[in-house]
């Protein structure tokens, strides 16, 4: 699904990624670990197509509509309600049973009660759950999750655990985290950054 050969990314003077190489097969689960600022986020952004490599090669055999991405920002409009946000993305991603899927995900992540509230009023944990809903909305083949457990409380983390367990083996994952023990059982491959 993903092949990287001596992948590098530089921001002006700073080198964020240096000659990273790996292969990730379909339905594999790549666990990326490393301290803050070690390049995990950069790698995920490159895989999502949000940035271009400055050296090396990267091939991601998934189209944009097959990729689900969770980054450091929740990527939802603060002035829109949770429901409006997800409906917008459902329509943009052409999700066939949009309304039903939106409702189902909101319920699964415990946001159904607050669906009519502006995302700007949500707590950090609720925003993260909303972001996960957004990423899973179109049932993507490839899931790129950058610190998905960030800001989640115990219940939210449990829901995420369940989702990952359900989908692992049926979808391809790249998960960056500095708390690897949570997902290490699911990992089929690892990449450690210094």
Partner 1 sequence: MWSRNNAVPALAAAAGLLVCASIALIFFWIPEDADQGISQKIFYFHVPIALTAYACFGWGALKAFLHLWRRPPGADLESYVAIHQGVIFGALTLITGSIWARASWGVWWAWSSEQLVLFLVLFLFYSAYFMLRFSVEPGPARANLCAVYALFGVVLIPISFLAIRLANDFIHPTVFTSQGPQMAGSMFFTFCVAWAAILTLAAALYHIELAGKRLDVSLRELRERLA
Partner 2 sequence: MSGYLRDVALLTRKDVLLELRARDAVPALLLFVVSALVVFHFALPADAAELAAKGMLWVAILFTALLGLGRAFQAERQQSMLDGLLLAPCDRSAIWLAKTLATIVFLGVAELVALPAFALFFSALDWETVAGIALANLGICAVGTLVAAMALASRARELLLPLLFLPLAIPIVVGGVGASVADDGGRYLGFLALYDAVFAIISWASFEYVVTE
Question: What are the residues binding partner 2 (CB under 8 A)?
Answer: 48-52, 63-65, 67, 69, 71, 73-80, 84, 88-89, 91-94, 118, 134
CB 137 within 8 A of CB 130: no
Strand 29-33 to 189-192 pairing: parallel
Separation between Cα atoms, residue 144 and residue 30, nearest integer Å: 10
Position 6 contacts partner 1 (CB under 8 A): no
How many other β-carbons are positioned within 10 Å of the β-carbon of residue 15?
Answer: 15
The interface region with partner 1, picked from 8-16, 130-138, 141-149, 167-175 by CB under 8 A, is 8-16
From the list partner 2, partner 1, none, partner contacted by residue 79 (C-beta under 5 to 8 A by kind): partner 2
The interface region with partner 1, picked from 10-18, 121-129, 147-155, 174-182 by CB under 8 A, is 10-18
CB 114 within 8 A of CB 79: no
The end-to-end CA distance of the chain, in Å, is: 25
Q: Which residues pair with 29 in a beta bridge?
A: 173
| Choice between 11 and 64, CB closer to partner 1 | 11
Binding test (CB under 8 A) with partner 1, winner from 3, 27, 54, 104: 54
Question: What residue ranges bind partner 1 (CB under 8 A)?
Answer: 10-12, 15, 52, 54
């Amino acid at each position: 699904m993903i092949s990287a050969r001596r992948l590098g990314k530089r921001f002006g003077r700073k080198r964020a990624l240096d000659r990273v190489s790996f292969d990730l097969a379909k339905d594999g689960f790549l666990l990326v670990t490393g301290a803050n600022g070690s390049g995990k986020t950069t790698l995920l952004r490159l895989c999502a197509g949000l940035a271009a490599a400055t050296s090396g090669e990267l091939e991601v055999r998934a189209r944009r509509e097959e990729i689900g991405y969770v980054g450091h920002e929740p990527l939802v409009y603060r002035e829109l309600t949770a429901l409006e946000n997800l409906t917008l993305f459902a329509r943009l991603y052409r999700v066939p049973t949009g309304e039903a899927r939106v409702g189902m995900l909101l319920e699964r992540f415990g946001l159904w009660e607050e669906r009519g509230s502006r995302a700007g009023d949500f707590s950090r944990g609720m925003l993260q759950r909303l972001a996960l809903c957004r990423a899973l909305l179109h049932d993507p083949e490839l899931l790129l999750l950058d610190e998905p457990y960030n800001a989640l409380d115990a219940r939210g983390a449990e829901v995420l655990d369940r989702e990952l367990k359900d989908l692992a083996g049926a979808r391809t994952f790249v998960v960056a985290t500095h708390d690897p023990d949570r997902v290490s059982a699911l990992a089929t491959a690892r990449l450690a950054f210094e």
